[in-house]
Amino acid sequence: SQQGEEDPQALSIQEGENATMNCSYKTSINNLQWYRQNSGRGLVHLILIRSNEREKHSGRLRVTLDTSKKSSSLLITASRAADTASYFCATALGGTSYGKLTFGQGTILTVHP
Amino acid sequence: GAVVSQHPSWVICKSGTSVKIECRSLDFQATTMFWYRQFPKQSLMLMATSNEGSKATYEQGVEKDKFLINHASLTLSTLTVTSAHPEDSSFYICSARRAENNSPLHFGNGTRLTVT
């Protein structure tokens, strides 16, 4: 069953601004991942944060994880028009369920030039 | 370059016919592949887990006789939508991973299925 909830559902900003997307989940996890999807295309893996990590950076991306609140956030700094896409969080269990992802509902990000 | 290839990228078929979608890992052996379905403006829902050489494990609510999965080799899994109906129209995406723990997942580019 789908356990991730994301907000906002849609976000519209100007180029150069920061974009923050939030994700909440319900069960214990091994890791949480963020993906990007351009319209009608497959998924691009952005970043993975493990359950024992609190913050991770990759280029203009910053991800936080609060396991006590079962929530994560993705911050894209200095956004560009090319960042326009849908962004999904996905939670993963460990062990034999590794690789089996449960996706959030996604945030549609539009960056206006 | 793409490490997981999905084919076809789009297909249109008539009601009642069957459609086969292929998912190939191009430069690694994928012991496990996953099949997802995504309806327009919605998230991805896991349909089944495909393990090489064994039967697929289907998620609750997914009809195994309708969505046939075959993972006959370490580089290929196929999803066959049998007796397709318009409500099966969707975006189907596969992902694959290596056998090693914590190996990354790689997603295919998806297949847009339209049943008329």
How confident is the model at residue A96, as a pLDDT? Answer: 60
The predicted model gives A86-111 an average pLDDT of: 86
The predicted model gives A89-111 an average pLDDT of: 85
- List the 40-79 stretch of A: residues with Cβ below 8 A of B: 40-45, 48
Among the listed residues B31, B24, B26, the one whose alpha carbon sits nearest the alpha carbon of residue B3: B26
Q: Which residues of A touch B36 (CB under 8 A)?
A: 103
How confident is the model at residue B53, as a pLDDT? Answer: 83
- Distance CA(B102)–CA(B13), nearest Å, equals 38
- Distance CA(A15)–CA(A12), nearest Å, equals 10
How confident is the model at residue B52, as a pLDDT? Answer: 84
Among the listed residues A113, A111, A93, the one whose alpha carbon sits nearest the alpha carbon of residue A25: A93
Between B43, B97, B106, which is nearest A103 by CB?
B43
How confident is the model at residue A97, as a pLDDT? Answer: 64
Answer yes or no: is pLDDT of A106 > 60.
Answer: yes
Q: CB count, 10 Å around CB of A37?
A: 22
> What DSSP designation does A85 have?
E
pLDDT tens-digit series, residues A10-50: 999 999 999 999 999 998 898 999 999 998 788 999 999 99
DSSP run (H or E) holding A32: strand A31-37
Answer yes or no: is pLDDT of A95 > 70.
Answer: no
Q: Which two tokens stand for residue A74?
A: 């993705």
Between B6, B91, B105, which is nearest A99 by CB?
B105
pLDDT tens-digit series, residues A40-92: 788 999 999 999 999 999 999 999 999 999 999 999 999 999 999 999 999 98
B23 CB burial (10 A radius; 0-12, 13-18, 19+): buried
Among the listed residues B24, B22, B20, the one whose alpha carbon sits nearest the alpha carbon of residue B4: B24
Sheet containing B19-25, strands listed edge to edge, beginning at the edge strand earlier in sequence: B4-7, B19-25, B76-81, B67-73
How confident is the model at residue B91, as a pLDDT? Answer: 96
Low pLDDT (below 70) residues in chain B: 1-2, 101-102
How confident is the model at residue A1, as a pLDDT? Answer: 38
Contact between A98 and B101 (Cβ < 8 Å): yes
